[in-house]
Structure formats: C-alpha cells, structure tokens
Amino acid sequence: MTAEAVAIATAGFRDAGVTPTTWSNGPHATYAEHAHEQSKLLFCVEGSIVFRTSDGEISMTPGSRLDLPAGTKHSAVVGADGVTCWEAFRG
C-alpha cells in the first residue's frame, strides 16, 4: 500500500465521519451486479478494480474514491494484480 493512498483514504473517511472496513481480492475476481440499501464510500488503497454502473465504468487505482448512492446497481472486476479497498456505508 502506498502511504499516499492510505493518507487519502484515511482523510476521506474521517471527513465523512465513518469508520471503514477493509477487503481484498485476488486477480480478476468478479462481483455480479447488486445494490446496497445504504450509500457506499470506497477507496482503493492497493491494486485496481473497475466498477460498472448504468452510467459507465469507473476505474480505480490507489487513492481513487467512489461514492455509490443507496440503490445504485453495480458490478466489478478486479485488476490483474488484485485489489485492497477500504469501505464504509452511510445513511
């Protein structure tokens, strides 16, 4: 994990007033389309992942932030080197 990506994520969660959890996946893992009842705040801290929504693709690398409103349908594919993300739910 780069120190810069961790600092960006830490500040983002602090500013949002939420405590993150962390998760990781290996290369090319996939997430089928789904939605959450709460808004999701996510930062990539290592590797890469591409999220797909009805608005298009969102490519994430260390330091990238994603805000998904509650009910937003999305799927995802992890990059070739795997991924580690921090996330929290709000509302």
pLDDT in tens, the chain (91 residues): 789 998 999 999 999 999 999 999 999 999 999 999 999 999 999 999 999 999 999 999 999 999 999 999 999 999 999 999 999 998 7
**Helix (DSSP H) and strand (DSSP E) numbers for the chain:** 1, 6
Cβ neighbours, 10 Å, residue 68 = 20
User: Helix, strand, coil % (nearest 5) of the chain?
Assistant: 15, 55, 30
Sorted by where each begins, the domain ranges of the chain are: 3-90
CA dihedral 2, 31, 76, 74 (to 10 degrees): -120
Give the pLDDT score at 2: 84
CATH superfamily entry for domain 3-90: Jelly Rolls (2.60.120.10)
- For residues 12 and 31, give the distance between their C-alpha atoms in angstroms, rounded to a whole number: 24
Give the pLDDT score at 37: 97
Cut 0.85: pTM above it: yes
